[in-house]
Structures are given as structure tokens and as C-alpha cells.
Amino acid sequence: MEIVFNKEKIKATKDSIKEDVPFYGEILDFYEKIFIIQEELKLSLSPDPLILNEENLSYPLIKRKRFNIDFDSAGKVLSEILKVVKSGNNTFGKFADMVENEILNDSMNFKNLINYILNADEEFITIADKIEVPNDTLYFFIYNSIKPFLEISSEQLSHYLKGEEYDGGFCPICGGHPYLSVFNENGERSLICEFCCHQWKAKRIFCPFCDSQDKDKLKYFYSESEEFHRVDLCDDCKRFIKCVDLRKLERSFYPPFEMLSTLHLDMKAKELGYKNSI
Ligand SMILES: [Zn+2]
Ligand SMILES: [Zn+2]
């Protein structure tokens, strides 16, 4: 049965991760508030599903511009995220006012930015420069405002994949790279899309970035403190992906928290000369 990540469940998951890695307490507390905003909105959403021609399916199923985004609701999410950011003592704080004035209060700018993200349009960077907010900070605000809609659309579209044997390295729904690899309770591997969060079954031994299946080139290292986290490395393309082994995890699995509580593993992989997916 799928676990619903409501407010209580997110808090409980965060609390148990915090016990394992207290060092990440502040960042987990901050993101917990963002995740609650997103999950609560998801529980209230029921957009019209996208209809695809089943005779003519290919991977990825859609171009990202087809994702169903309700701009008004996305604006409300952005407003809530800005409140969280402004109430805390964090590095984004000084940019929240700029985003509020230039983006939230100018619906044309907001819609344009969403479309630039969906179309991977470099105009996004031009706007970021214009309002003097770092590109990745502006992306954090806008992407997190639309993420609930991407996830719901992606969930709706996933029924088109039922019975398919797709096991490639990019997201079969939106074409995104995976940001996390997972071993489930049966030891089967799946990958999670960095953009729409769809999770799909994958080959056990292969690099999702370059398709290498060369056992001599595919390596990994484990986290010293938590054996349920490991990092898969590819010597063909020098990329890495973090992996969570659910057979060894004794708490709830909420992928965005796993990403945050393993930032030390990204650092180690980068020190070893590997890059992440982006
Ligand atoms: Zn995707
Ligand atoms: Zn590779």
C-alpha cells in the first residue's frame, strides 16, 4: 500500500532521520516545511488527466510543456514557500523579497518562468540575471511551486506504462535524468526522475547516464555510518548516483529527505572525480 505523506508522516520521517544524522537538522527542518506545503496541495488536487493516443506511444511519453500546471495554485504554493523562507534564517532569505516583488506580484513573469522551466529555455537565466537572483535560487522557488503538479500529472500518466518493459536510463514519462536509485524489499532496482519524480524499474547493473553495463567500470562505495545508503559510480562517463537500499532501511522512505541527508556522499563522490546527473 502506498504511504500518504501528510504533515504527521513527513514530520515523523524527518525526526527519525535527524536522530541518525543530527548534523543535517537545520536543513531538514527547513525543507520539512516546503514538503508539507507540496504534499498537502497534492492531496487536494485532482486535475483533468492528460490523454495520450495509445496507438502511438514512445518514450518519453510527453514533452514537458504538456504538464498540467494550474498557475493560480502554483502562485499560492510560491507564496507559502516565500513565507517559509522569510521566516527562517537561511541563505535564500535575502532573495525572497525580490522574488515576491518581481515574480509573485507579476503573474506574466511567473507564467513565463514556469514555461521556461518546462521548455528548458535559457531565457530563465536572463530573467534571473535581470532581477539579480542566482539562477539556481530562482529555479528552487519556481520548480518547487510546480512540483506538486508535475508529480500528479506524472502519476496520472504512469498508467500508460503498465505492462511495458521499459528499463532505460531516462524517465519514460518526461525524459528526465534519475536523481536517486532504489533497491526495493525484493532487491529489484528502480530509478526516480529528478523532474517529475516518476519511479521506474531499471536493470540492476547499468549506468543510467551512459548505458554502460561494463562490470569493471561500474563501482560503488557505501556510506560509513548508514549501510542503507551507497553511491554508484561509472568510470565510463564519470557520473554518480546515490542509492537507497530499502531492505536495510528501518524507517519511512521519502526520497527528497534521502537526498538532503546524504549531501556528504555527493561531496565524497565529487572528491573522487565524479559528477552528478545535471
Ligand atoms: Zn520524469
Ligand atoms: Zn556512465
Identify the pLDDT of residue 92: 79
Q: How far apart are CA 177 and CA 195, in angstroms?
A: 8
Q: How far apart are CA 167 and CA 201, in angstroms?
A: 6
- What is the 144 CA–ligand 2 centroid distance (Å)? 28
Identify the pLDDT of residue 1: 47
Q: How far apart are CA 130 and CA 121, in angstroms?
A: 15
Q: Phi, psi at residue 207, to the nearest 5°?
A: -95, 120
- Closest-lying ligand to the alpha carbon of 170? 1
- What is the 236 CA–ligand 2 centroid distance (Å)? 5
Among 178, 233, 236, smallest CA distance to 208 is for 178
- What is the 8 CA–ligand 2 centroid distance (Å)? 39
Kindly give, in sequence order, each residue whose CB lies less than 8 Å from that of residue 261, ignoring residues fewer than 6 positions away.
17, 20, 21, 24, 28
Identify the pLDDT of residue 197: 97
Identify the pLDDT of residue 2: 62
Identify the pLDDT of residue 163: 73
- What is the 129 CA–ligand 1 centroid distance (Å)? 27
Q: How far apart are CA 236 and CA 209, in angstroms?
A: 10
- What is the 278 CA–ligand 2 centroid distance (Å)? 13
Q: Is the pTM of this model over 0.75?
A: yes
As averages over each run of 10 residues, the pLDDT of the chain (278 residues) reads 82 96 94 96 88 90 94 95 88 87 88 96 96 94 97 94 87 97 95 97 95 96 89 97 95 95 95 89
- What is the 44 CA–ligand 1 centroid distance (Å)? 22
- Closest-lying ligand to the alpha carbon of 217? 2
Identify the pLDDT of residue 210: 96
Domain positions in the chain are 45-161, 178-271
Q: How far apart are CA 68 and CA 148, in angstroms?
A: 10
E strands in 2-64: none
- What is the 154 CA–ligand 1 centroid distance (Å)? 7
- What is the 118 CA–ligand 1 centroid distance (Å)? 11
